[in-house]
């Protein structure tokens, strides 16, 4: 927003700050959006909190049950490609 108009808001008696509509629309921050608040030397920084916490493959591998022989990477890629072709043909 460098060089853009300066938008002003007011802190209410209980602390909430209303973000200007232009910023909420630009950021796609609807009602219920969770924001991380960070105090910086230049002011307060707001960042949208991700909907899901980041995970690493080793955190989730093996969580879903599977029966049968383990698939190779080539077999998985072939299955993904076949499904993509099936869905594309349907459209």
Q: How confident is the model at residue 52 (pLDDT cuts 50, 70, 90)?
A: confident
Stretch 22-34: mean pLDDT, rounded?
Answer: 93
Per-residue confidence (pLDDT) for residue 3, from 0 to 100: 54
pLDDT above 70 covers a percentage of the chain that reads 95
Q: Rounded to an integer, what distance in angstroms lies between the CA atom of residue 58 and that of residue 53?
A: 14
| pTM greater than the 0.85 cutoff | no
Q: How confident is the model at residue 25 (pLDDT cuts 50, 70, 90)?
A: very high
Domains with residue ranges and CATH for the chain:
16-53 (2.10.260)
Per-residue confidence (pLDDT) for residue 58, from 0 to 100: 87
More confident of the two residues 5 and 39: 39
* Burial of residue 23, with CB atoms counted within 10 A of its CB: 0-12 exposed, 13-18 middle, 19 or more buried: middle
Stretch 47-71: mean pLDDT, rounded?
Answer: 87
């Amino acid at each position: 927003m460098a060089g853009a108009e300066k938008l002003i808001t007011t802190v209410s008696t209980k602390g909430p700050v209303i973000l200007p509509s232009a910023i909420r629309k630009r950021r796609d921050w609807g009602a219920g959006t969770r924001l991380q608040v960070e105090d910086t030397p230049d002011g307060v920084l707001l960042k949208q909190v991700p909907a899901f916490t980041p995970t690493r493959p080793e955190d989730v591998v093996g969580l879903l049950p599977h029966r049968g022989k383990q698939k190779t990477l080539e077999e998985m890629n072939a299955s993904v490609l076949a499904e993509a072709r099936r869905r594309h043909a349907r459209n």
